[in-house]
Amino acid sequence: MYLHRLELANGSVLDSNPMRALQQFHTWKAKRLLKTIYDDDAEAFRAAVDSNETLLIDLFMDDGRDLYEGQALPGITLTVGDIANYVSAEGMP
């Protein structure tokens, strides 16, 4: 949970807000894992996303009930293109 302001091996720095930093971390992790699935069978991946329009929408949102800002954090929306083009840089999750 104490990921905020963490500098990764590649020089990227996570947000100073702990909830945003956690969201960034989860987004990178999800992209990496989804890219593995996509690379195994891109056609099946696209079919799964196409059959469920909300599958990659509003991910990792926060309801704002935390100690930091008390404001809701909107979710992240990914596209198949985000997944297909994702390249995990050295030192990134």
Sketch the domain layout of the chain as residue ranges.
41-88
d(C-alpha 91, C-alpha 79), whole Å: 23
Query: Is pLDDT larger for residue 45 or for residue 64?
Result: 45
Cα dihedral: 36, 40, 45, 46 (round 10): 110
21-42: pLDDT as tens digits: 888 888 888 999 999 999 999 9
**The model's pTM:** 0.80
Q: How many helices (H) and strands (E) does the chain have?
A: 3, 0
- 64 pLDDT more than 70: no
Give yes or no for a contact between 6 and 14, defined as CB atoms under 8 angstroms apart.
Answer: yes
